Amino acid sequence: MAIESKITDVEKIAVIGSGNWGTAIARIIGVNVVQLKGFDREVKMWVFEETVGGKNLTELINEKHENVKYLPGFKIPENVKAVPDLLETIKDATILVFVIPHQFLHDVCDQLKGKVHIKAKAITLIKGFDTSDTGIRPMSEVIHEVLKVPVCTLSGANIANEIAAEKFSETTIGYRNRQEGELFKRLFETKYYRVGIVDDVVGVELCGALKNVVAIGAGIIDGLKMGDNTKAAIIRIGLLEMKKFIKMFYKGIKDETFFESCGIADVITSCYGGRNRKVAEAHVLTGKSFDQLEKELLNGQKLQGTLTAKELNMVLKRKGLEREFPLFTTIYKISFEGVAPQKIVEDII
């Protein structure tokens, strides 16, 4: 990716996504752009339109200044405008914040192709990846390839509701061009949300994708009521498999990245408080499928870990690597092939 500065005098922000995290991050951006120099005060937030109680969600958000479906109970600043039209959202935007479930990125990028501002740069907050014939494709690469814009990543121990409640949290931004990393740090940082920046776009991003699979493992352990020592073992082994996998597929990944918020801290928070953990626990307790439980328990929010476990397994299988990643492989088999949850510990001993 060419390292060139696309920073402008006044940056205009489009947030592409308005789920649980999308809305929480739009709240932060909405407050910050008013206080900081160099940012347009209006922030547009794209809403995948749906009706809630007979009314369009976009209208509800703009009337109530609250995303009543995906982040109820938290006010959104009035300078954040919900927009149902994707192209209108990104019109004139020089900063594109991608925060949608990863399965929808291709479709969104295709709609944006050739339409983004010449000075546009992007940051992805998405936790997931794409697959290709040769292995995996990080979301940052998909965005760069389709839109021809420079892309940073943001990922960390960031449960959206806790950040919306302004509880102290950290995050990590991965950059290629330090100036852009610093620009994004200014845009996202608050007193209660501290941003570290590292020169490792892909390391930051892939930690965020793979920890969702480890969190499913933690939920399985919780469903089996095996206790905290076992969960700690899953966290440790999970982190090692994450590191091995990422380094196997990408050169230049820094060891330090795994000790940033995007690494160990995100594995821990997700294994204790995340949606993937919650649904995996329910899967063990009820025997229902993940798809069914996602609908029953998440009110429209989307799991990322199950799809990532499937995509990961496709790559491992294709390359004959399943045995080298016993935890990832068993989590996939428990989730999709009817393997008994108890196998999670048997297969890693």
Ligand X SMILES: O=P(O)(O)OC[C@H](O)CO
- Candidates 16, 18, 58, 184; binder of ligand NAD (CB under 6 A) is 18
- Candidates 33, 157, 214, 235; binder of ligand X (CB under 6 A) is 157
In whole angstroms, the minimum distance from the beta carbon of 191 to ligand NAD comes to 19
Report if residue 128 touches ligand X, rule: CB under 6 A.
no
- Candidates 117, 127, 243, 333; binder of ligand X (CB under 6 A) is 127
Residues forming beta bridges with residue 346, ordered by sequence position: none
C-alpha–C-alpha distance, residues 44 and 61, integer Å: 12
In whole angstroms, the minimum distance from the beta carbon of 116 to ligand NAD comes to 17
| Options 41-49, 61-69, 151-159, 339-347: segment touching ligand X (CB under 6 A) | 151-159
Q: How far is CA 12 from CA 61, 93, 105, 236, 293, in A?
A: 20, 5, 21, 41, 39
Q: Which is nearer to ligand NAD, 299 or 342 (CB)?
A: 299
Work out the burial of residue 293: count CB atoms within 10 Å of its CB; fewer than 13 is exposed, 13-18 middle, 19 or more buried. Answer: buried
**SS3 of residue 215 by DSSP:** helix
C-alpha–C-alpha distance, residues 310 and 234, integer Å: 19
CB-based contact 49:42 (threshold 8 Å):
no
C-alpha–C-alpha distance, residues 131 and 258, integer Å: 22
Say whether 211 is catalytic: yes
Contacts with ligand NAD by CB under 6 A: the residue count is 24
Catalytic residue among 6, 69, 185, 211: 211
Give which of ligand X, ligand NAD, none residue 266 binds (C-beta under 5 to 8 Å, depending on kind). ligand X
Give which of ligand NAD, ligand X, none residue 157 binds (C-beta under 5 to 8 Å, depending on kind). ligand X
Strands 151-155 and 169-174 come out as: antiparallel
In whole angstroms, the minimum distance from the beta carbon of 14 to ligand X comes to 22
With the CA atoms of 242, 246, 248 and 251 taken in that order, what torsion angle do they form, in degrees rounded to the nearest 10?
-150
Work out the burial of residue 56: count CB atoms within 10 Å of its CB; fewer than 13 is exposed, 13-18 middle, 19 or more buried. Answer: middle
C-alpha–C-alpha distance, residues 81 and 286, integer Å: 41
Q: Which is nearer to ligand NAD, 28 or 159 (CB)?
A: 159
| Options 29-37, 57-65, 251-259, 272-280: segment touching ligand X (CB under 6 A) | 272-280
C-alpha–C-alpha distance, residues 222 and 231, integer Å: 8
| Options 142-150, 300-308, 310-318, 324-332: segment touching ligand NAD (CB under 6 A) | 300-308
Report if residue 30 touches ligand X, rule: CB under 6 A.
no
C-alpha–C-alpha distance, residues 70 and 22, integer Å: 9
Does 304 show up as a binding residue in the annotation? yes
CB-based contact 171:154 (threshold 8 Å):
yes
In whole angstroms, the minimum distance from the beta carbon of 190 to ligand X comes to 17
Q: Which is nearer to ligand X, 223 or 274 (CB)?
A: 274
Q: CB neighbours (10 Å) of residue 9? A: 7
CB-based contact 156:170 (threshold 8 Å):
yes
Q: Which is nearer to ligand NAD, 29 or 125 (CB)?
A: 125
Q: Which amino acid makes up residue 134?
A: T
Q: Positive or negative, the Cα torsion across 62, 75, 94, 11?
A: positive
Task: Report the site for ligand NAD in 156-195 (rule: CB under 6 A).
Answer: 158-160
Binding site for ligand X (CB under 6 A): 127, 157-159, 212, 215, 266, 269-270, 274-276, 304
Binding site for ligand NAD (CB under 6 A): 17-22, 48, 70, 99-102, 104, 125-128, 158-160, 300-302, 304
Annotated binding residues for NAD(+), written as ranges, equal 17-22, 48, 104, 160, 275, 302, 304
Annotated binding residues, written as ranges, equal 17-22, 48, 104, 127, 160, 275-276, 302, 304
Annotated binding residues for substrate, written as ranges, equal 127, 275-276
